[in-house]
Each structure stands twice: as C-alpha cells, then as structure tokens.
Amino acid sequence: KNEVEQSPQNLTAQEGEFITINCSYSVGISALHWLQQHPGGGIVSLFMLSSGKKKHGRLIATINIQEKHSSLHITASHPRDSAVYICAVRLDRGSEKLVFGKGTKLTVNP
C-alpha cells in the first residue's frame, strides 16, 4: 500500500462545477503539499499546510491531522484548471524527503 493515496485517479467535470480531490496518508507528517502539474509538465506549488485550511482564489485546501486526510477543492471550475493535481507529504522523521501521491488528472470541459 502506498504511503500517500489520492482519489479519484481521473476526474472529468463541466465548467462551473465544484471539484474535490482527496489525499489520504498512512505516516506521520510535518506538512502536506498540493502541487499542480500542467499538461506541458511544469509544476506549481499550490499549498503547503500542516493544519486547518488555506484558501487562494478559487482553491481551498483542508487537512485533518487526526484522520490523516486532506482535500483540495476548486470552486467554479474552468477549463484552464485542467491539470494533474499531486499531493505530497513531508515525513516527520527528520528527513526532508517528500513522498508523492500518483496524482489526480482533472479535465474540465467547457
């Protein structure tokens, strides 16, 4: 079993829909990252969080430390949101290693 599991693996939505991507992890962490990988391959860091909730524009990320679960929400989705969204965790064992989920491929149709 992978230490970081994302669901769904693929997601297709219509423009305007509310999107939720989930990430569950099985290890102790000091932080969780949400990354966006564009079709061209470039990676952008969206959020880094260790507790609670963060919001940036139409994006919201939440984390529940007790349940070892995080969600990434996109409100009023747009075709330009189409990308692969990757969850990654920084382990709490004193290592800087990030462990990555396999990603969720989101396609937003106009």
Partner 1 sequence: GAGVSQSPSNKVTEKGKDVELRCDPISGHTALYWYRQRLGQGLEFLIYFQGNSAPDKSGLPSDRFSAERTGESVSTLTIQRTQQEDSAVYLCASSLQLAGLPDTQYFGPGTRLTVL
Does 51 bind partner 1 (CB under 8 A)? Our answer is no
Instruction: Give the nearest distance from C-beta 72 to partner 1 in angstroms.
Output: 15
Tokens read off for 74: 């996109």
Instruction: State which residue, 36 or 77, has the beta carbon closest to partner 1.
Output: 36
Site string for partner 1, 81-110 (x = CB under 8 A): -----x-x-x----xxxxxxxxx-------
Does 39 bind partner 1 (CB under 8 A)? Our answer is no
Q: In this chain, which of 31, 68, 71, 73 binds partner 1, going by CB under 8 A? A: 31
Instruction: Give the nearest distance from C-beta 34 to partner 1 in angstroms.
Output: 11
* One-character DSSP codes across the chain: --SEEEE-SEEEEETT--EEEEEEE-S-EEEEEEEEE-TTS-EEEEEEESSEEEEETTEEEEEETTTTEEEEEESS--GGG-EEEEEEEEESSS---EEE---EEEEEE-
Binding site residues, partner 1, CB under 8 A: 30-31, 33, 35, 41-45, 48, 50, 86, 88, 90, 95-103
